[in-house]
């Protein structure tokens, strides 16, 4: 067993989201040969952080990543996430051990609670009404994580999708938070208001996920009706959309206007919109690591192109201006899937 290393976490500028690894209902089948090739090439490119979770394809993502990292685990930084439904002390320990087995490793570099621990979060991870009615306690969960850290099973404790008050609650326990993983892209800028200043002041690294908003920022379409329904569940889109649960009117006009403005800038800069979007996120010094998912080598190489981009201050200012109205309309809450009355982050 490796001893715990609680020194400062060193993250690369870009990390690899691995939700598609192992294949599943959300992303469809995923070939392990492609996964192996992507992981190997990512390490060569310096994309050394790999982000997974126990819920991604019911553990298959962790298993697939573990296979791909055989013989090269020492070159990788692994982040995984435990469901808030599984955060009671004994259950959390069992699930951490299960993740370790699937990942074929003695330790997880960054182990995060996937969403804040309360009923509105938990109901999306389990149908067990007893757990929903009596959620695990936040203090017990994070003190258990601290114990796992002392035992060397995890190196750094993190959270995902936690707001300022929720992070404060954890910090008050004397637990050191290394990271908060949060949505961040040109169309999802809520964390700029309160969460980024809070994290910067306390030395909490930010992992920015959905850099391309699951392809929305890269796709070429004229109408949102051309998008798969599963890509239109956020508060950007009307609550009447299939699969939506936020129940609000949405901001489709503002979202389309922002997208079209970004596309204009991309054309003028002679860059693919995806490169511009990832490059914008990479340019923010408050974001420690930008996560971008991919299915194959071609997509990985396309994402990694942004690492060499140096967007001018003028271009960055134009991109901010192009998406500012949408930022203000959506507000400072980073839960893009639920309405204000049922938001999971605060």
Number of domains forming the structure of the chain: 1
Domain presence at residue 93: yes
Is residue 265 domain-resident?
no
Model pLDDT for residues 175-220, shown as the tens digit of each residue? 999 999 999 999 999 999 999 999 999 999 999 999 999 999 998 8
257 domain-assigned: no
What local confidence, expressed as pLDDT, does residue 1 receive?
Answer: 28
| 3-class DSSP string for the chain | CCCCCCCCCCCCCEEEECCCCCCECCCECCCHHHHHHHHHHHHHHCCCEEECCCCHHHHHHHHHHHHHCCCCHHHCEEEEEECHHHCCHHHHHHHHHHHHHHHCCCCEEEEEECCCCCHHHHCCCCCCHHHHHCCCCHHHHHHHHHHHHHCCCEEEEEEECCCHHHHHHHHCCCCCEEEEEEECECCECHHHCCHHHHHHHHCCEEEEECCCCCCCCCCCCCCHHHCCHHHCCCCCCCCCCCCCCCCCCCCHHHHHHHHHHHHHHHHHHCCCHHHHHHHHHHCCCCCCEEEEECCCHHHHHHHHHHHHCCCCHHHHHHHHHHHHHHHHHHCCCCCCCCCHHHCCCC
Q: Would you say residue 31 lies in a domain?
A: yes
For the cut 60, the answer to whether the pLDDT of residue 290 exceeds it is yes
Confirm whether 201 is domain-assigned: yes
pLDDT of residue 229: 93
> In this structure, is residue 269 part of a structural domain?
no
Nearest-angstrom CA–CA distance, 267 and 80: 37
pLDDT of residue 340: 85
pLDDT score, position 26:
84
| Enclosing domain of residue 198 | 14-220+275-307
Q: What is the pLDDT of residue 225?
A: 94
- Specify if 111 maps to a domain: yes
Give residue 341's pLDDT.
86
Q: How confident is the model at residue 93 (pLDDT cuts 50, 70, 90)?
A: very high
Report the pLDDT value the prediction gives residue 115, as an integer from 0 to 100: 98
* Mean pLDDT score across all residues of the chain: 95
Q: Residue 6 pLDDT > 50, yes or no? A: no
Q: What is the pLDDT at residue 150? A: 98
> Which one has a higher pLDDT value, 181 or 24?
181
Position 263 in a domain = no
Any idea what the CATH number is for the domain that residue 131 is in?
3.20.20.100
**Residue 8: which pLDDT band, with cuts at 50, 70 and 90?**
confident
Q: How confident is the model at residue 7 (pLDDT cuts 50, 70, 90)?
A: low
């Amino acid at each position: 067993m490796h001893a715990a290393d609680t020194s400062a976490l060193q993250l690369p500028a870009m990390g690899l989201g691995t939700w598609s690894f192992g294949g599943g209902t959300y992303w469809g089948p995923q070939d392990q040969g492609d996964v192996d090739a992507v992981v190997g090439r990512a390490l060569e490119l310096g994309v050394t952080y790999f982000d997974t979770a126990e819920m991604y394809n019911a553990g298959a993502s962790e298993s697939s990543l573990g296979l791909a990292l055989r013989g090269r685990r020492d070159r990788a930084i692994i982040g995984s996430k435990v469901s808030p439904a599984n955060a009671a002390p004994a259950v959390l320990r069992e699930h951490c051990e299960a993740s370790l087995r699937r990942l074929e490793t003695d330790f997880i570099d960054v182990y995060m609670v996937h969403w804040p621990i309360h009923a509105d979060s938990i109901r999306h991870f389990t149908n067990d009404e007893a757990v929903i009615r009596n959620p695990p306690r936040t203090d017990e969960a994070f003190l258990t994580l601290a114990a796992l850290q002392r035992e060397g099973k995890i190196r750094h404790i993190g959270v995902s999708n936690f707001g300022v008050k929720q992070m404060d609650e954890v910090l008050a326990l004397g637990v050191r938070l290394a990271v908060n993983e949060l949505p961040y892209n040109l169309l999802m800028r809520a964390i700029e208001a309160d969460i980024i200043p809070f994290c910067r002041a306390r030395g909490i690294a930010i992992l920015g996920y959905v850099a391309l908003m699951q392809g929305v920022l890269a796709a070429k379409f004229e109408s949102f009706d051309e998008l798969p329904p599963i890509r239109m569940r956020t508060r950007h889109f009307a609550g009447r959309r299939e699969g939506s649960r936020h129940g609000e009117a949405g901001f489709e006009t503002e979202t389309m206007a922002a997208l079209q403005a970004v596309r204009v800038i991309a054309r003028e800069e002679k860059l693919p919109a995806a490169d511009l979007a990832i490059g914008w996120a990479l340019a923010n010094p408050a974001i420690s690591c930008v996560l971008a998912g991919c299915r194959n080598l071609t997509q990985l190489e396309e994402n990694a192109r942004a690492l060499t981009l140096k967007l001018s201050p003028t271009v960055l200012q134009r991109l901010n201006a192009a998406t500012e109205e949408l930022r203000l309309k959506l507000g400072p809450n980073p839960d893009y899937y639920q309405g204000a009355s049922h938001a999971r982050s605060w």
